[in-house]
């Protein structure tokens, strides 16, 4: 009896120890599996301020090169990797634009070096009007750029391409485990410039016209809670300043203020659908600082609150849409305008006529309009090319939900993308701007429906659930 009793006494503790160790092993294994399902992210940045006097971009009326800076210009990269090892890279720049030629060159180099396709890379610029001109053959004559200045622009552009490829690679190579959050803040300094005459505004003026005052924010923290990066956007032209000092305008100041407030954080700005929006009033450094602080405060308010955490899953999609032109000008019409018109219209007609002589025909449309969608967890981001008016953002949010992020000024400077409303009303963004670009004609009124439809089709490919109309029977 004593032996049996001792066996029981010995056996029960052994079972208990075995069960304890097994449960601890299972718990540890579960923890490992859970910890493996995380985001990774990496950031990189480089100063892209010109080191020699150079022609500025943004305004055609400047008559000398820029030699001073208000603050440095930056290019920044943020790379993400999800739990399935899918990767994407966002590159933002304090520049007015990149042409399709430069954008394609940079993306192709990133693809060859890091195996990321078109859908996995977004190139985004703030559209600051106090940055340098980059390679854009169609703009050289428009800006009366002397040959010696063109040589500087070409050299700067070559080096810029190298820098952007390198920081994309550095971001990819320095990724660490992170948590990712998203949300929308608000800032109300953007004004619809089509509906409000700048010279007549005063502090008590009642403003009118469509706007999008949302401030989309993505916060990236290390697993210990330290902020690594914050990405934010706003739908408003970076046109507070028009002088002869390099600066990122209000987006540049906003990034500076956020990085000062949160040391060690890389702040990155993207432009929303603000082609018909201006910061008003404007034209002073004090106002650029004010708008930068206002935007930074909106971002700070959002990241200081509980934000929606995103699951580590990435879907990236890309497509190109053919945007048709209206009736093309005849050779006789172009020759008449080139001979009789003055200033920009004369230049436009001469440029289009030269294209006609070279190609023997004028294109019926632009076949490469870029539309891109990223899904970061359940946060949807739409990236559109060119200078897109606010109607697109409002329409996409109406269809896809108010929480989506809409980025413009991405991947290709297609110039202005007006809505049907803007084309019908005419004015600068719809018709007059033609003489500043290199398009042979204005856009057809259906481009809005083509872009919206193309975006929705891409959204479905990305697995985004879109609302369906319901028939109500009484």
Outline where 174-305 has alpha helix (H): 249-261, 285-303
The answer for residues whose C-beta is within 8 angstroms of residue 137's C-beta and 6 or more apart is: none
Residue 396 lies in a domain: yes
Query: What are the respective helix, strand and coil percentages of the chain, to the nearest 5?
Result: 40, 25, 35
Segment 395-415, tens digit of pLDDT? 999 999 999 999 999 999 988
CA distance 175 to 188: 35
CA distance 363 to 324: 9
Strand duo 379-384 + 405-407: pairing:
parallel
Same domain? 223 vs 339? no
Same domain? 337 vs 216? no
CA distance 200 to 221: 45
Residue 32 lies in a domain: no
Same domain? 300 vs 345? no
Place of tokens 């559109």: 384
Which carries the bigger pLDDT value, residue 467 or residue 40? 40
**Best CA proximity match to 216, nearest among 124, 290, 136, 153:** 124
Residue 267 lies in a domain: yes
Same domain? 218 vs 352? no
Q: Evaluate whether 127 touches 96 at the Cβ level (below 8 Å).
A: yes
- What are the Cα distances from residue 89, in Å, to 103, 122, 138? 14, 6, 29
Question: Which structure tokens are listed for 187?
Answer: 């800032």
Phi then psi for 395, rounded to 5 degrees? -70, -45
Structural domain boundaries, residue 179: 39-197+208-312+388-416
- In terms of residues, how long is the chain? 474
Same domain? 225 vs 348? no
User: Max CA-CA distance within the chain?
Assistant: 121
Segment 212-227, tens digit of pLDDT? 999 999 999 999 999 9
Which pLDDT does position 418 carry in this prediction?
95
Same domain? 351 vs 238? no
Report the C-alpha dihedral over residues 306, 307, 310, 315, rounded to 10 degrees: 180
Q: DSSP string spanning 98-112?
A: --HHHHHHHHHHHHH
Question: Number of structural domains, the chain?
Answer: 2
Structural element, H or E, at residue 387: strand 387-388
Which pLDDT does position 157 carry in this prediction?
97
Percent of the chain with pLDDT over 70: 91
Mark 256-284 as b/e (b = at least 16 C-beta within 10 Å). bbbbeebeebbbbbbbbbbbbbbbbebee
Residue 439 lies in a domain: no
Segment 258-277, tens digit of pLDDT? 999 999 999 999 999 999 99
Residue 375 lies in a domain: no
Same domain? 291 vs 341? no
Segment 164-187, tens digit of pLDDT? 999 999 999 999 999 999 999 999
Residue 4 lies in a domain: no
Same domain? 218 vs 347? no
Per the prediction, the chain carries an average pLDDT of 89
Four-residue CA torsion sign, 130, 132, 135, 141 = positive
- Residue 82: which region, alpha, beta or left (left: phi > 0; alpha: psi -120 to 50)? beta
Same domain? 348 vs 397? no
Same domain? 250 vs 337? no
Which pLDDT does position 6 carry in this prediction?
40
Same domain? 247 vs 349? no
Same domain? 412 vs 267? yes
CA atoms lying within 13 Å on the CB side of residue 31: 6
Residue 3 lies in a domain: no
Residue 174 lies in a domain: yes
Question: Residue 357 burial (CB < 10 Å; 0-12/13-18/19+)?
Answer: exposed
Segment 148-158, tens digit of pLDDT? 999 999 999 99
């Amino acid at each position: 009896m004593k032996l049996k009793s001792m066996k029981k006494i010995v056996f029960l503790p052994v079972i208990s120890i075995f069960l304890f160790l097994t449960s601890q092993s299972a718990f540890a294994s579960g923890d490992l599996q859970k910890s493996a399902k995380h985001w990774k992210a990496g950031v990189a940045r480089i100063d892209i301020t010109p080191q020699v006097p150079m022609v500025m971009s943004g305004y055609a009326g400047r008559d000398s090169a820029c030699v001073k800076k208000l603050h440095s210009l930056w290019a920044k990269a943020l790379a993400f990797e999800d739990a399935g090892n899918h990767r994407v890279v966002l590159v933002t720049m304090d520049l007015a634009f990149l042409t399709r030629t430069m954008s394609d060159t940079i993306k192709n180099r990133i693809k060859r070096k890091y195996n990321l396709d078109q859908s996995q890379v977004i190139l985004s610029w703030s559209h600051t009007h106090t940055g340098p001109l980059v390679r854009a053959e169609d703009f050289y004559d428009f800006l009366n750029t002397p040959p010696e200045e063109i040589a500087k622009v070409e050299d700067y552009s070559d080096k810029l391409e190298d820098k952007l490829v390198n920081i994309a690679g550095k971001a990819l190579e320095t990724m660490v485990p992170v948590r990712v959050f998203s949300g929308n803040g608000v800032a109300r300094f953007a004004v619809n410039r089509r509906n409000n005459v700048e010279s007549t505004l005063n502090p008590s003026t009642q403003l009118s016209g469509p706007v999008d005052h949302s401030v989309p924010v993505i916060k990236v923290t290390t697993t210990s809670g330290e902020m690594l990066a914050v990405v934010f956007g706003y739908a408003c032209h970076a046109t507070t300043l028009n002088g002869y000092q390099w600066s990122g305008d209000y987006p540049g100041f906003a990034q500076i203020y956020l990085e000062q407030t949160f040391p060690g954080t890389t702040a990155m700005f993207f432009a929303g659908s603000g082609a018909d929006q201006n910061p008003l009033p404007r034209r002073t450094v004090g106002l650029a600082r004010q708008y930068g602080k206002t935007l930074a405060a909106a971002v700070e308010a959002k990241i200081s609150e509980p934000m929606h955490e995103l699951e580590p899953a990435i879907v990236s999609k890309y497509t190109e849409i053919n945007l048709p032109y209206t009736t093309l000008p005849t050779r006789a019409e172009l020759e008449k305008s080139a001979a009789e018109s003055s200033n920009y219209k004369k230049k436009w007609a001469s440029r289009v006529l030269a294209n006609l002589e070279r190609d023997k025909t004028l294109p019926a449309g632009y076949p490469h309009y870029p539309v891109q969608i990223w899904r970061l967890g359940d946060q949807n981001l739409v990236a559109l090319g060119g200078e897109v008016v606010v109607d697109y953002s409002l329409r996409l949010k109406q269809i896809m939900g108010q929480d989506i992020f809409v980025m413009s000024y991405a991947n290709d400077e297609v110039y202005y993308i007006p809505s049907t409303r803007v084309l019908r009303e005419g004015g600068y963004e719809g018709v007059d701007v033609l003489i500043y670009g290199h398009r042979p004609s204005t856009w057809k009124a259906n481009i809005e429906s083509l872009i919206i439809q193309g975006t929705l089709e891409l959204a479905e490919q990305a697995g985004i659930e879109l609302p369906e109309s319901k028939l109500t029977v009484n």
